[in-house]
């Protein structure tokens, strides 16, 4: 038993979280890759774009962000007057780690005629060095608004950038970052799984490498994958993204079978995001109780990053999409 768990023994954490959420006028936002228990506690669950929109639009005074650090930082950039807490400040992202701001600045300097279209999975510093931010659900809409002859740097995800290049016939210069979770899917094992379930569509996140994406029947953000899975007439569906999203699929379509795409050992559970997994109910309770760990940032840096995020919200549209799969905000306990 760790120190936090020991000191919280005997508390009804779900009831305590509900009490604190009301007392603090807090909203709990969660990404689809969070553990089911956290998803079920959230007021709003969404993909990166909808979570950004919700963070920008909420009237709550506190945002408790069940996701990774770049997502909580995005909430703070867009809602600077709110207290933003992240249950575990070590919840990073391999894509962010792959793109140190000084190296990204040097890369940009070597290509002065290029604009920087940058995936939201990056640090606040890299956002401030970028022209336009995209998420996996807004990248296509935004790229289609940029003239074909405009040279573009795309970072940090080479798989998402490569997929956009192939789909739209572009030749964006790609930063060589990857998501360690999506990189772990195995083409050989996916083909074996597909042979065992003929007709089952493969739904894949664009962070997957090309050898996985080429077998996908549908490529899209977490929310797009969820929507496709629910509207598909197929009863069995193969899901090539972080498997915690299957929780929402099973809740919304309990009669269907959802199978996580396998890694090299043929196991379907080897693709859990180790960063997302750092958050848990105990840490969420402590974050709401202590209003720590809190996201703080330099105001000049925030304003720099906000420019590229605002461009994303303007080009993608600011309306919050269908992500309210949790309880109504501030519901009675």
Using CB under 6 A as the criterion, which residues of the chain lie in contact with ligand 13P when the complex forms?
Answer: 47-48, 121, 135-137, 179, 205, 207, 221-222
Residue written as token pair 């090539």: 240
CB 39 within 8 Å of CB 326: yes
Q: Specify whether the CB–CB gap between 58 and 276 falls below 8 A.
A: no
Pairing of strands 26-31, 44-46: parallel
Stretch that binds ligand SF4, among 72-80, 184-192, 268-276, 309-317 (CB under 6 A): 268-276
- Choose between 27 and 203: whose C-beta lies nearer to ligand 13P: 203
Provide φ and ψ at 91, rounded to 5°. Answer: -75, 85
Q: Report, in Å, the least distance between residue 71 CB and ligand SF4.
A: 8
Binding to ligand SF4 by residue 180, rule CB under 6 A?
yes
The only residue of 172, 181, 193, 212 in contact with ligand SF4, by rule CB under 6 A: 181
Nearest partner of 182 among 94, 77, 277, 301, judged by Cα: 94
Binding of ligand SF4 by 27 (CB under 6 A)? no
Q: Select from 20, 93, 139, 142 the one that contacts ligand SF4 (CB under 6 A).
A: 93
Least separation in angstroms between residue 149's CB and ligand 13P is: 28
The alpha-helical segments, DSSP class H, found in 207-331 are 210-213, 222-231, 246-252, 281-290, 299-316
Q: Does 184 bind ligand SF4 (CB under 6 A)?
A: no
Torsion of CA 32, 37, 38, 39, to 10 degrees: 40
> Among 121, 135, 248, 308, which residue sits at the site for ligand SF4 (rule: CB under 6 A)?
121
Using CB under 6 A, list all residues that contact ligand SF4.
33, 68, 93-95, 121, 179-181, 207, 242, 273, 275-276
């Amino acid at each position: 038993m760790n120190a936090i768990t020991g000191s919280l023994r005997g508390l009804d954490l779900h009831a305590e979280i509900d009490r604190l959420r009301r007392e603090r006028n807090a909203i709990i936002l969660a990404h689809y890759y969070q553990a089911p228990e956290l998803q079920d506690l959230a007021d709003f669950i969404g993909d990166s774009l909808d979570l950004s929109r919700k963070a920008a639009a909420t009237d709550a005074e506190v945002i408790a962000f069940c996701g990774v650090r770049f997502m909580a930082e995005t909430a703070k950039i867009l809602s600077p007057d709110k207290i933003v807490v992240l249950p575990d400040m070590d919840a990073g992202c391999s894509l962010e780690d792959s793109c140190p701001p000084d190296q990204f600045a040097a890369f940009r300097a070597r290509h002065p005629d290029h604009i920087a279209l940058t995936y939201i999975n990056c640090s606040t510093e890299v956002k401030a060095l970028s022209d336009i931010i995209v998420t996996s659900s807004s990248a296509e809409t935004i790229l289609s608004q940029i003239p074909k002859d405009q040279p573009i740097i795309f970072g940090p995800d080479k798989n998402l950038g490569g997929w956009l290049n192939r789909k739209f016939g572009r030749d964006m210069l790609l930063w060589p970052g990857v998501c360690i979770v999506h990189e772990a899917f195995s083409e050989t094992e996916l083909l074996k799984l597909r042979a065992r379930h003929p007709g089952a569509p493969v739904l894949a996140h664009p962070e997957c490498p090309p050898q996985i994406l080429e077998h996908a029947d549908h490529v899209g953000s977490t929310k797009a994958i969820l929507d496709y899975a629910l509207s598909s007439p197929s009863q069995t569906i193969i899901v090539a993204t972080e498997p915690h999203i299957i929780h929402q699929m099973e809740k919304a379509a309990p009669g269907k079978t959802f199978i996580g795409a396998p890694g090299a050992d043929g196991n379907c559970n080897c693709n859990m995001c180790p960063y997302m997994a750092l958050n848990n109910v105990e840490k969420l309770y402590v974050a709401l109780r202590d209003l720590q760990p809190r996201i703080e940032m330099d105001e000049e840096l925030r304003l720099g990053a906000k420019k590229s995020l605002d461009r994303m919200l303007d080009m993608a549209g600011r309306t919050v999409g269908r992500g309210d799969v949790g309880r109504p905000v501030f519901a009675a306990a």
